[in-house]
Amino acid sequence: MGCLMHRRGSALRSPSARRKPVGVTLTKGQQISLEKSGGQPLSVVRMGLGWQAAPRKGFLAKLTAREIDLDASAVLFAGNEPVDVVFFQRLISDDGSVRHTGDNLVGSAGQGGDDESILVDLLRLPAHVDQIVFTVNSFTGQTFAEVQNAFCRLIDENTGQELARYTLSGGGSYTAQIMAKVHRSSGGWHMSAIGEPANGRTFQDLMPAIASHL
């Protein structure tokens, strides 16, 4: 029986070994409603952001290790006014509803895992906060021409289920991306894919670019 199971492993794989379903793949500008499959509102979500170093050409380039240091930030808005921010130098919002899990200095060397994550407790967010914009920028000035497979994805923290994913297309000479936003309406919370390139080494530098997406 053991040999039979080995030969037919794909057919007899246990439920625990199966991968969790991938969420909705968003295109630039697309929006989805954030709710559980039964229609109930979500409580805690995690925005995972990831990237990899693009392959370098030439023999010497391949021998030289290169680190890609991108920083994820979440800017909280009340209307069009920024009221709080979470990033690598400020890991928790004033009310504790938004938490950054810490700075990854090198980027992913694996197969597309999250490099940085930001947790958002939607039920604890102050009533006046109606938008959270997620950005990625290079504090060291590296450009997205040196990055590949950059993405953001939203996960239901209670179940681990991926709700939505947005993957950037191509690189570029810019140093930042306005990735996505989570925003509140009378019908509940929604996520919108933005994917707007920008230039700046800190979230403060990106505020003019963010403003056009509020």
pLDDT at 18: 47
pLDDT of 173 > 80? The answer is yes
119-168 confidence digits (pLDDT tens): 999 999 999 999 999 999 988 888 988 888 889 999 999 999 999 999 98
pLDDT of 64 > 90? The answer is no
Q: Answer with the residue of higher pLDDT: 148 or 48.
A: 48
CA distance 131 to 189: 9
pLDDT at 109: 43
The burial class, CB within 10 Å (0-12 / 13-18 / 19+), for 143 is middle
pLDDT of 13 > 70? The answer is no
93-121 confidence digits (pLDDT tens): 999 999 999 866 554 444 458 899 999 99
pLDDT at 139: 82
Domain with residues 21-211, CATH architecture: Sandwich (2.60)
Domain limits, the chain: 21-211
Q: Answer with the residue of higher pLDDT: 204 or 35.
A: 204
pLDDT of 3 > 60? The answer is no
Q: Virtual CA dihedral for 124, 129, 131, 137, nearest 10 degrees?
A: -80
pLDDT of 68 > 80? The answer is no
CA distances from residue 68 to 16, 46, 106, 144 in whole angstroms, order as listed: 34, 22, 5, 10
Question: Average model confidence (pLDDT) for the chain?
Answer: 83
pLDDT at 41: 81
pLDDT of 12 > 60? The answer is no
